[in-house]
Amino acid sequence: MNILIAGFQHETNTFAPTRASYPSFIQGEGFPPMARGADVMKLRDVNVPIGGFIQVAQARGHTLLPVIWAGASASAHVTTDAFERIGGEIIDAVKAGGFDAIYLDLHGAMVTEQFDDGEGELLERVRKIVGDTMPVIVSLDLHANVTARMAKHASALVAYRTYPHVDMAATGARAAQILEHVVAEGRPLHCAMRRVPFLIPVNGMCTLVDPARDTYRLLEQLEADDVVSMSFAPGFPASDFPECGPTVWAHAFDKQAAGHAADALLAKLVDEESRWDVPFLSPDDAATEAIRLSRGAAKPVVIADTQDNPGVGGDSNTMGMVRALLRHGAQQAAVGVIWDPEAAAAAHRAGAGARVRLRVGGSASVPGDAPLEGEFEVEHLSDGHFRFDGPMLNGMRGELGPVACLRIEGVRIAVSTIKMQVFDRNLFRVAGIEPEQMKILVNKSSVHFRADFEPIAQAILVAKSPGPMAADPADLAWTRLDLDMRVRPTGPAFRSFRETTVQSGSRRFSNN
């Protein structure tokens, strides 16, 4: 076959402070930088879905027509300019024709300034051009908010099964195999999609532990016999539109088989709803517990500063956990990575070894947060270029812009010019911090960091420090959620939640 391939990834937190502009996709912000044409093929050996698709398709002798691949870190809405420019390149290539099938590497939780369902809009535009019979296969992130529109216009949707996402390329490979299956059969797949009636906290989705781990085990068991593909997307619980939330779906050539598989997985999720709830620590409790556990420990205690995770829409600059560590006298602690281009530039002007008075971090959009003012020692400077050596994006080059390690009392702070989630130990090393030598590490991340940090961690704690991404979705000021969707596991439905918040005054961010 001749197969048109393209990718366009964004996870949208509609409550976040910063939007995704076209330059965000050019840089990548933790994703590979924007690539076009033949340069897309260079992603073949990178752990992203299109890489796995390319490997399988080439091995089977197919001809690939690469268009564009673009991704940006989670944030608020994708600007109309970015959506139309990137999506427009894909649509123009579809209009040009010359292919037998289409593969798209999408996220599934894109909200633009104009469209609640960015992927659904793009897929509908594609389908209007190619007609009803051409195979259009789509891979999705585990955090996709899958819509009826996506399911209608894609021939098949297939989602990741791991969080941290170590199976991105494997998901692309599955998409290639499903495409061949559909073409060989010469008939369409049936899709049975079911909505899970409660939002799941991001921290509860980690597939290294139950309940997510054993849910995906059942999924793999159900994907047998007549079921060609089975997926469960726990969703991205920070996109304020009616179809936000978890979904399960099954593809089969037999409609009844697809329905039975989807119903079986949904029943498990509903029966075990309470298992998906997550306990959180306050910043002070996390700091004191980390100090206690680190005494005499051979490995660092890792704290997830989850509500300021740039991978889910935070700006990676809140200082609540830093202040808590300082309040309790933490020693050999490191925090990363604080996104503060001005502080990084000031440190580079001062030079390594200098002592300089700075205002570091601080988010005006987060109530109660402010820059940390003080005298810092500039311990290390670098240009911010590094390589990912952890399981996610292994072998890819990364860039944080000019980076500095600033030390205040017993706390080292890695400060960057470019925003990026800490899911690889090398984000500390590029700032001159050896993570294994620290007593305490605070990561601006929710779950992805576990892939590279769990092997070196004495313990992992999850802190609910003030930030723009509420770890508990019930803390968000929802306005457009489905009225019957429960705002957290075993929590109230949005219908009653809305009545309560209207009476008591709406909440914007969690400050617990």
Measured CA to CA, the distance from residue 415 to residue 186 in angstroms comes to: 54
- Quick one: pLDDT at residue 502? 52
By the 8 A CB rule, do 3 and 61 touch? no
Please give the backbone phi and psi of residue 454, each rounded to the nearest 5 degrees, phi first. Answer: -60, -40
Cβ-proximal residues to 140 (8 Å cutoff; 6+ apart), any chain: 106, 107, 108, 119, 146, 157, 158, 159, 160, 231, 233
C-alpha angle 476-478-483 in degrees, rounded to nearest 5: 130
Do 406 and 377 contact (CB within 8 A), yes or no?
yes
| Per-residue confidence band for 111, with pLDDT thresholds at 50, 70 and 90 | very high
Residue 501 has pLDDT above 70, yes or no: no
The pLDDT value given to residue 512: 33
pLDDT in tens, 24-37: 999 998 899 999 99
| pLDDT greater than 70 at residue 202 | yes
pLDDT at site 506: 46
Confidence grade of residue 511 (pLDDT, cut at 50, 70, 90): very low
Q: How far apart are the first and last CA of the chain?
A: 55
> pLDDT tens digit string along 315-345?
999 999 999 999 999 999 999 999 999 999 9
The confidence score (pLDDT) of residue 509 equals 35
Give pLDDT, residue 507. Answer: 45
Rounded to an integer, the average pLDDT of 266-288 is 96
Residue 197 corresponds to which tokens in the numbers above? 């009636």
- Say what the pLDDT of residue 361 is: 97
Over the chain, what is the mean pLDDT?
95
With b meaning 16 or more CB within 10 Å and e meaning fewer, what string describes 263-292?
A: ebbbebbeeebeebbbebbebbebbbbbbe
Domains in the chain and their CATH numbers? 1-187 (3.40.50.2300), 283-463 (no CATH), 473-504 (no CATH)
pLDDT category of residue 510 using cuts at 50, 70 and 90: very low
Instruction: Please give the full DSSP string across 419-467, using - where no structure is assigned.
Output: -----STHHHHTTT--GGG-SEEEES-SSTTHHHHGGG-SEEEEE--S-
Q: Does the structure show a pLDDT above 70 at 362?
A: yes
403 close to 414: Cβ distance less than 8 angstroms: yes
The DSSP bridge partners found for residue 12 are 75
Contact 335, 411 (CB under 8 A): yes
Q: What is the pLDDT of residues 379-412, one digit of tens each?
A: 999 999 999 999 988 888 999 999 999 999 999 9
Contacts of 324 (CB under 8 A, 6+ apart): 283, 284, 286, 287, 465
State the DSSP string of 276-332: G----B-HHHHHHHHHHHHTT-SS-EEEEEGGG-GGGT--S---HHHHHHHHTT--S
pLDDT 10s digits, 427-445:
999 999 999 999 999 999 9
Residues 6+ apart with CB under 8 A from 52: 168, 169, 170, 171, 172, 173, 174, 175, 176
pLDDT number for residue 35: 98
Distance CA 27, CA 20 (A): 11
What are the pLDDT digits (tens) for 34-90? 999 999 999 999 999 999 999 999 999 999 999 999 999 999 999 999 999 999 999
pLDDT of residue 499: 67
Note the residue count of the chain.
512
* pLDDT of the residue at 224: 87
**What pLDDT, on a 0 to 100 scale, did the predictor assign at position 312?**
86
Whether pTM exceeds 0.85? yes
**157 closest CA partner among 134, 129, 131, 179:** 179
